[in-house]
A and B are shown apart, each in its own frame.
Chain A
Amino acid sequence: MKIVVPLKQVPDLVEDLELNDDGTGLDYEYLKMKLNEWDDHALEEAILTKEAGDAEVIAVALDGEDVDKMLFTALAKGADKAVKITGANPYAGNHEMAKVLANAISGMSPDLVLVGVQSAGDSDGWLAPLLAAHLGMPSVSVVTGLQVSGNTVTVHKEYSGGIMAEFDVELPGVIGIQAARQTPRYAPVSKVRQIQQSATIEEVAAGDLGDVVTSTVEEMKHPEKGGGAKMLSDVEEIVEVLKEKGVA
């Protein structure tokens, strides 16, 4: 079976986030980028599925800063192929990204697409369903475990309140991964360096955006600091405050 895993870079919070000059977005010049944690989990699930049976894992990413290293690392972790999409904005929102990915992925005829349920850059969780809509496939998101058997994948989906559900998805399908079965494996630097010498990354052009809805950011700013917290010393004080607020 063929598993495609789209990977995305997000800002690494080890550096302070700075705004660009016109205050409409982040200043990417000194920003360090790293692999979106949820996409790392999606990749881990893909490789675990490959190790359990017969599958090919293809890592896909939009071209940008340090993307080659991210793709070589995916290969070192166990992916079979790496594909880079050129000519698209890697920092675009999910509507654009879904269309660009769909253009590239539809040609690969995947059986399963695993993608992180959300990313730190935009926590909307739309990539999986939008991608699925473009590809004409079913989609389930917030998945914490999956089991492939034949033409079906059984997934565990998490809801809030501790509720879980099990779905059988007819393949091909797009699954939004919340967490892999185990911590994403470490790719030793030795191995990544080996791969950098021996492997090549395929390139495809981004293709047409069509009539995809795009949005522009008018203003981005740092959150305003609130009033802070007041430390109460005993239960009586808490009761007083609750009474004051009309809650008790």
Chain B
Amino acid sequence: MIFKTMVRKEKEQKSSYVEKDSAIVDGIDISGHWNKMYQPREIMNYDVTPLEDLRALPGAESIGNCYQCAQCIGVCPIDNVGDYGPRKIYRKLQMGMNLLESVDLWQCTTCMNCLRVCPKEVNMIDIMPAAREKAILDGKEVPAELQEMFQNCAEYGNPMGESPRKRARWAKKADVEVKDLSKNPEPVDVLWFVGDYYAYHGRGNDAAQAMARVLTKLGVNFGTLGAEERCDGDSQRLAGEKGLYEMLAEHNIEKFNSLDFKKMVVSGPHAYNAIKNEYPKMGGTYDVDHYTQFLSAMMDKLKPLMTKEFGKKVTFHDPCYLGRHNGEYEAPRTLLNAIPGIQFSEMFRNKEQGYCCGGGGGGMWLDGFMADNINERLSENRVKEAIAVGAEVLAVCCPYEVSRFEDAVKSTGNEGKLEVLDIIEIIDRCIEE
């Protein structure tokens, strides 16, 4: 897998020089070989049109800022297990690679570690969606798994391709009432945006049911959109399907606006990012918290409820879209440190330096494609780190991660050695029935 085109415009030129037989400068005689000077010549000349074309795309301008310092390569999670990073992409673009036709277009998870360290603010979070959108509209090849996911979202409003009518079925096993505001609209304090993985994935259901119980125990007056909720669309936007994102966002915003609530609480950082930073551009502005922020602000009520011990060695994975993208590192830790009996230790790559699980930017649906480009999955690399710091439990607070890390625990041969739990599940276990 190397860049597809490398165009050398002219052949290497032989060096040529000028030499004056007679030259007297400022009274000094420098005739002959003393004044020999080489002419400037082109050693290599590449066609930089692909670089210029990319720079011309709205949103992708910052690719031109790169001055090859390679700070990004040191922190790129893909380069850690493969061969990738903004600097490398820039160099290949200079040498004639068309990013829109390259496998390099699809590897970035938009984790933002590069932007964090880039002195020239080359912004992959804007560049990648712009380039991917152009590639898709131009009919360039899209990895099949990703295409299937787009189709599922477009048809059914969720990436799994499950029936939209069954989106709220998890609530039946919650043991507590979960108000379905799509069926019985009433004013609530909190609108809880559940999300695809909590709604449809088995382990997500566990977390969703735990959330419902905890919110009820806290006396929060909450409700959900039931089966009218759709995917938040953020990962789809970052993977290049802007129209799909707009369609989903329009639908969700219309539903939000038809309800009476004070605050929105989301299960996942990707929904948090979408609703906090992107939905306002489409006319939907809401007071939104990630659930860890909402619960850590209620610590005075929550702490007394957690009476059962959870005396395990726990470490925490910072989700890219809560941490680096939105600056929230403390809320999850506030919750974890309040767990009775917990023995918490950080991983080496924590907070701003957190190591991406591989799920963002479309990565959740590109594991097959990525297998050809990396020697180890990001989630496997991270799971090994959790075990290396002696953890028995890897705590997470992003719905993508439970399935990614549980899979990695198995595929690295660590089944039984590391449990993966959403923070809300741990909290739920500490609360008496």
Contacts and interface: CB of A to CB of B under 8 A. Distances in A.
Contact of A188 (B162, B165, B241): B241
B142 to A, nearest CB: 7
B137 A190 contact: yes
Contacts of B241: 188-190
Interface string A12-50: 101100000000000000101010000000000000000
Contacts of A183: 144
A191 B142 CA distance: 15
Contact of A15 (B165, B242, B243): B165
B244 A189 contact: yes
Nearest to A190: B243
A32 B242 CA distance: 24
Of A30, A188, A192, chain B has the most CB atoms within 10 Å of the CB of A188
B141 to A, nearest CB: 10
A15 B242 CA distance: 27
Contact of B243 (A12, A34, A191): A191
A188 B163 contact: no
Interface string B307-351: 000000000000000000000000000000000000000000000
Contact of B156 (A14, A30, A188): A14
Contacts of B163: 14-15
A15 B166 CA distance: 9
A12 B244 CA distance: 20
Contacts of A15: 163, 165
A188 B161 contact: no
Contacts of B246: 189-190, 193
Contacts of B247: 189, 193
Interface in B211-260: 241-244, 246-247
A192 B247 CA distance: 11
Contact of B151 (A32, A186, A193): A186
A134 interface: no
Interface residues of A, number: 16
Contact of A189 (B144, B156, B243): B243
Given A14-B161, A15-B163, A188 B144 contact: no
Q: Is the interface of A mostly helix, strand, loop or mixed?
A: loop
B139 interface: yes
A191 B222 CA distance: 38
A181 interface: no
B278 interface: no
B244 A188 contact: yes
Of A12, A190, A193, chain B has the most CB atoms within 10 Å of the CB of A190
A87 B147 CA distance: 35
B81 to A, nearest CB: 29
Nearest to A188: B136
A188 B155 contact: no
B311 to A, nearest CB: 43
Contacts of B151: 186
B130 to A, nearest CB: 13
A190 B240 CA distance: 10
Interface in A185-230: 185-186, 188-194
A186 B151 CA distance: 7
Nearest to B144: A183
Contacts of B155: 12, 14, 32, 34
Contact of B137 (A12, A32, A34, A188): A188
A245 B241 CA distance: 58
Interface in B123-178: 133, 136-137, 139, 142, 144, 147, 150-151, 154-156, 161-163, 165
Nearest to A78: B139
A185 B136 contact: no
A183 B146 CA distance: 14
A183 B163 CA distance: 23
B409 to A, nearest CB: 31
A174 to B, nearest CB: 28
Given A14-B156, A34-B155, A186-B142, A192 B243 contact: yes
Nearest to A191: B137
A140 to B, nearest CB: 29
Interface string A98-113: 0000000000000000
A134 B275 CA distance: 56
Contacts of A190: 133, 136-137, 241-244, 246
6 contacts: A15-B165, A185-B139, A189-B243, A190-B244, A191-B243, A194-B243
Interface of B: 133, 136-137, 139, 142, 144, 147, 150-151, 154-156, 161-163, 165, 241-244, 246-247
Interface of A: 12, 14-15, 30, 32, 34, 183, 185-186, 188-194
* Pairs A-B, 4 closest by C-beta atoms: A190-B243, A189-B243, A189-B244, A186-B147
